[in-house]
Structure 1
Amino acid sequence: MKDFLLLFRADYVEYAKRSPEELQSMTKKWMDWIGGIAAQNKLADRGNRLETGGRVIRSGNMITDGPFCEIKESLGGYIVIKTASIDEATEIALGCPVYQIGGSVEVREISLM
């Protein structure tokens, strides 16, 4: 089995404007989806939701605040799953609730050096 990182991107500023009922419904969809992965013993790390603020460091020690909320799509969270192949990881990613808010999932194999 290999480890794959699933990175979730979406317009989380717009997402946060939803009603409390909509947010609760979406949270349940996320928990059900992640619970389904765990039930298959394929969840390696439950990951976390990421805050919108942070810092970006570029070469030359240039440090800026960011990523900025004005960016249409930002990284909002991640999980790590264990699957036999990137195809299987992609199949799991297809069930992610982020698509319901116009988001995307990036699937990346974690390379153990």
Structure 2
Amino acid sequence: MNEYILLMHQDAVHTEAACDPQQWEQYLGQLRSSGQFDGGSSMAPGLRLRKNQVDQPSASDLGGFIRVRAVSLESAKQFLVGNPVYEAGGTVEIRELPRS
């Protein structure tokens, strides 16, 4: 089983729906019951750091992440169903977390 991270962007067409606590509670319950959920969190703004450069504010387009397990990227797409950001017309990026 591979590990994936779902990155939720803050570009939902329907902002209120994307941030609705009840929808998130229902979605996270669905993920927990799958047995393939490994946690996640919302994300606050931060800093982008580069050696010998002035610190810059982090990109404000990421709002949170979720870690899941799936056999393939294609099967990881199943976790989009019910995701409040995705369902509200926003972007959810899926990336594999390779084993090193």
TM over 0.5: yes
2:94 aligned residue: 107
> Residues 103 and 63 (structure 1 numbering): CA distance in 2 closer, same or farther, change over 3 Å?
farther
CA positional deviation for 1:100: 4.3
Is the radius of gyration larger for structure 1 or structure 2?
A: 1
RMSD across aligned C-alpha pairs, in angstroms? 2.5
CA positional deviation for 1:10: 1.2
Q: Which aligned segments of 4 or more residues in structure 1 are displaced greater than 4 angstroms?
A: none
> Percent identity between the aligned chains?
26
> Residues 85 and 68 (structure 1 numbering): CA distance in 2 closer, same or farther, change over 3 Å?
closer
Partner letter of residue 28 of structure 2?
A: I
Structure 2 unaligned segments of length 5 or more: list them: none
Which one of the candidate residues 53, 59, 69 is aligned to 1:62?
A: 53
1:50 aligned residue: 43
Which one of the candidate residues 84, 88, 99 is aligned to 1:97?
A: 84
* 1:5-84 correspondence runs (5 A): 5-11=5-11, 15=15, 26-44=20-38, 46-51=39-44, 53-58=45-50, 60-67=51-58, 74-84=61-71
TM-score between the two structures when normalised by the length of structure 1:
0.73
> Residues 90 and 68 (structure 1 numbering): CA distance in 2 closer, same or farther, change over 3 Å?
closer
